[in-house]
Amino acid sequence: MKRRNYGEKLAEAALLGAALVSVLAVVFITVFLFRSGLPLFRKVSLGEFLFSTNWAPTAKEPHYGILSFIVGSFYVTGLALAIAVPVGLAVGIYLAELADKRASRFLRSAVELLAGIPSVIYGLFGIALIAPAVRNLAGGSGYSVLSAAVVLAIMTLPTIINVTEVSLRAVPRELKEGSLALGATHWQTITRVLVPAGRSGIIAGVILGMGRAIGETMAVLMVGGNAPIMPKGLGGMVRTLTMNIITDMSYATGDHLTSLFATGIVLFVFILALNIAVQLFLKRSISEVEGAANA
């Protein structure tokens, strides 16, 4: 008896330790990022950094304006979601409600495979197929906002599909049965009952996908064009926050290096905001499901 207690205590301590390591990692990264990036604002005003499009870090009179990259990040991410959300929703609904066992097993492993493909492979795929297609469609060089968005859309699909399916499956049976018993068709049940009931979970999934898209680096670097300018239309070249950091990181020194950490802070704040939003929606989703089950 006593022995088991010790064993349990040991396991508990080990788990606590593991949990602390991940918390500590977050704390260290945060402190490190802010300590390395904040000194920039002694030389450059926050306003100029965030709202100027003039990025010339190695000029004699250097300028550090990252507005183009902020806009680029959101432009690409927004467009990617506009493509991925309808498709992801459709697939998620199909998997949860319509597919028979064999089809859903096949489809699910395909989606899982999609999630496991390294981003550099998506980049190669983008260079070989998507960039030429976009060049024909939107003009320009093909290394553009649209190419980056399409690649990101494919990359965020697994997240959106999985969360949609899980959210729909989490809707209490009674709701579905009640709807069908009242004479609604299966399709009416899906669109009027299941999707609205799983809404918060689905939104959380979309925001999660958004987080993945905004943080993605390698794939967009390969197809975005990487010009440090404000993106002009769908066929225009784009540089996102992540691309800006990776392009300059290897050789930047002094204030230039600090400005890259500051770019990292901006990215960090965006991701943090997205994560808080996910938490809120998930909380709502859980209480909605519980509320519905108790009703």
Partner 1 sequence: MKKIMALGLSLALASSAFAQLSGNYSWGGSTTVGPIAQQALEQLQKDNPGFKASYELTGSGAGVKSLLAGQYSLAGSSAELSAEQAAAGAVATPIAMDGITVVVNRNIKLANISKADLAKVFHGEITNWKDLGGPNLKIVVVNRDEASGTYGSFYDIFMKSAYADKASAYTKNAIVTKENGEVAAKVASTPGSIGYVGMGFAGEVVKAGGRELKVDGVAPTVANVVAKKYAGSRYLYIVTKGAPASGSVEKAFIDFLLSAKGQAIVKSADFIPLPRK
Which residues here bind partner 1, judged by CB under 8 A?
56, 58-60, 127, 131-132, 135, 140-143, 221, 225-229, 237, 239, 247-248, 250-251, 253
Q: How far is CA 260 from the centre of its chain?
A: 21
**Residues with Cβ < 8 Å from 167, sequence gap 6 or more?**
92, 198, 200, 201, 202, 205, 285
Question: What tokens were used for 186?
Answer: 């299966």
In the complex, the smallest distance separating the C-beta of residue 130 from partner 1, rounded to whole angstroms, is 12
- The answer to whether residues 241 and 77 touch, using CB atoms and an 8 Å cutoff, is no
In the complex, the smallest distance separating the C-beta of residue 142 from partner 1, rounded to whole angstroms, is 6
In the complex, the smallest distance separating the C-beta of residue 30 from partner 1, rounded to whole angstroms, is 25
Residue among 97 and 248 whose Cβ is closer to partner 1: 248
In the complex, the smallest distance separating the C-beta of residue 114 from partner 1, rounded to whole angstroms, is 25
Amino acid at 230: M
In the complex, the smallest distance separating the C-beta of residue 141 from partner 1, rounded to whole angstroms, is 4
Residue among 34 and 48 whose Cβ is closer to partner 1: 48
Residue among 119 and 156 whose Cβ is closer to partner 1: 119
In the complex, the smallest distance separating the C-beta of residue 79 from partner 1, rounded to whole angstroms, is 19
Residue among 65 and 209 whose Cβ is closer to partner 1: 65
Residue among 158 and 235 whose Cβ is closer to partner 1: 235
Residue among 93 and 131 whose Cβ is closer to partner 1: 131
In the complex, the smallest distance separating the C-beta of residue 251 from partner 1, rounded to whole angstroms, is 4
Residue among 50 and 218 whose Cβ is closer to partner 1: 218
